[in-house]
Amino acid sequence: MELMEKLKTAGKMRDEIIATDFLVTAKSAVRTYAVAITETASPEVREVLKKQLNQAIDTHAKIANYMIKNEMYHAYDVNEQLSHDEEKIKTALEMVND
């Protein structure tokens, strides 16, 4: 793999890694807020947490939609996602082994 091709591929992979990390973090925030809502006895705190939960859900949806649009995430086709993941692994190994 030529240097320019490696840099181009690395940039795409970097963007996908960042987006994936952001998606996982947003998903974790949704879970954390949901648990916190069930643990609080204060109606005021519960309302604040519900607003934050809704924001976390919206953020997760925006990231997932971005990734789907940019073919980083194939949420509706498991086989396509597996194929995509295999290609990423092959590319990463090629970059390391060249």
Tens digits of residue pLDDT in 49-65: 999 999 999 999 999 99
- Token output for 73: 């995430």
Q: Name the residue with higher pLDDT: 79 or 25.
A: 25
Average pLDDT over residues 4-29: 81
Q: Where are the alpha helices (DSSP H) in 1-98?
A: 3-39, 43-69, 78-97
* Residues 33, 56 contacting (CB under 8 angstroms): yes
| Angle at CA of residue 18, ends 14 and 19, nearest 5° | 115
How many residues appear in the chain? 98
Average pLDDT over residues 21-48: 96
Q: What is the pLDDT at residue 17?
A: 87
